[in-house]
Structure 1
């Protein structure tokens, strides 16, 4: 079982150690409703959300990781860079933060303060969403569907990435049926989502 480190039960915010260009901050735009988490991984609690097309300040990213330290609406935390775009080339053209030039953002580290045991990550969500190819969510599910999902909770599966509309759940993840409803459900990174069974694509995120 893996261990991750959280700073206290409530905030769980990371301490950042910057290397390289101090104070280098980039405004990035979310291409999906994107969670802000208290630490750099899918197991950490959600502390905020960057809505699609809203901007967040990126302070830096972990080396060898797609998780970046962000500030949005006064909330500090970590967001997954596959779903953030920014104009790194100076010409105003937005590119996915994951594909940024190496020198565009300083590396940041995550300091351990206290530990809790959590489930390990099994696999990765497939696909990314850029400003050029958005996928619309389905209409909000009926109240009875939401109630069914909430009263029939299943153990969450942890996948590297973030639960956003358009991402695809790997075949290894079991999805559950909902009576008299076209879509399936599963808890991804503690977030309940609706899945289109034919494509295994996330079509709705319940928040």
Structure 2
């Protein structure tokens, strides 16, 4: 994940075009229920959600197209680009893989209201052990757990966590692992990350950035987010 340099002056969030704007706002579809955050990073507060299959307006994306400034149902914020899909010619692709075809402008982000807590969380995020693997589109279909991401074709059978399993996960704390990217159902956990057993066959669990998740033991993908 790109670490964003931020300054601590003034009292407003500033957005500025960092490259010549080559297009106006574009529309993109959420491949899964996707957080809208107050800033471009998983450590920022969630201010809304774009439901899977719903369309949002993309005002621009950071250089590298990892996070995009979005507007959905009256809420403005930032969403993780690997789960935003757009029409690229005759194909559908995620914004981060086909930015040149959809011609989305590049913007910069300066958070001028950053708190000490924000800086602390960002510092933790900077020491990540790896990145969540986005399977919204273009990833191995055998690793897709949330069938809604690509429809039923090629989707793996989901092991549904029981209430008892989720209670067990939340009642048995483990040390957090810091991973970059958005925590969503269907995201893949890097193979080198150690996960933990649950009483339910076929499921393991992990604490990612302070958030507990149930993981399919076969595909290593998130099937449920606690809370």
Q: TM range, normalised to the smaller chain?
A: 0.7 to 0.9
**1:62-73 equivalence runs, <5 A:** 62-73=62-73
Residue in structure 1 matched with residue 109 of structure 2 by the alignment: 110
> For residues 69-112 of structure 1, what are the alpha-carbon distances to aligned partners after superposition, in whole Å with 9 as ceiling and x for unaligned?
111222222111111111244x6x43221122177111111113
Task: Report what 2:61 is aligned to.
Answer: 61
Contact (CA 8 Å) 2:32, 2:53: kept in 1 or not?
yes
- Tell me, yes or no, if the aligned pair for 1:23 and 1:59 is still in contact at 8 Å: no
Misfit runs of 4+, over 3 Å: 2-7, 131-140, 153-156
In structure 2, the residue corresponding to 1:17 is in which secondary structure?
Answer: strand
2:36–2:46 CA contact under 8 A, matched in 1: yes
Q: 1:123 aligns with which of 125, 130, 136?
A: 130
Deviations 1:2-46 (A, max 9, x none): 897699xxxxx9532234339821110011122222221222232
TM-superposition CA deviations, 1:126-175 (whole Å, max 9, x none): 24212983547847533222222233333432322222333221133221
Find the aligned partners of 1:88 and 1:144 in 2 and give their Cα distance. 44
- Correspondence for 2:150: 133
TM-superposed CA distance for 1:60, in Å, is 0.5
- The Cα shift of 1:198 comes to 2.8
- Matched residue count: 199
Tell me the secondary structure at the aligned position of residue 101 of structure 1: helix
Decide which of 94, 97, 111 is 1:96's aligned counterpart.
94
Per-residue deviation at 1:47? 2.3
**TM-score normalised by length of structure 1:** 0.79
Instruction: Give the structure 2 partner of residue 15 of structure 1.
Output: 14
RMSD between aligned residues: 3.1
For the structure 1 residues 156 and 54, does the alpha-carbon distance in structure 2 shift closer, same or farther, using more than 3 Å as the test? farther
Query: TM-score of the superposition, structure 2-length normalised?
Result: 0.73
Counterpart Cα distance in 2 of 1:14 and 1:189: 25
8 Å CA contact 1:136, 1:165 repeated in 2: no
User: What is the CA–CA distance in structure 2 between the aligned matches of 1:199 and 1:139, rounded to whole Å?
Assistant: 11
| C-alpha distance 139-103 of structure 1, shift in aligned 2 (>3 A) | closer
Please give the alpha-carbon distance, in whole angstroms, between the structure 1 residues aligned to 2:207 and 2:77. 22
1:177 equivalent to 2:197? Answer yes
Give the direction of change, closer, same or farther, for the CA distance of 1:103–1:55 in structure 2 (3 Å limit).
Answer: closer
Distance 2:157 2:77 in 1: 25
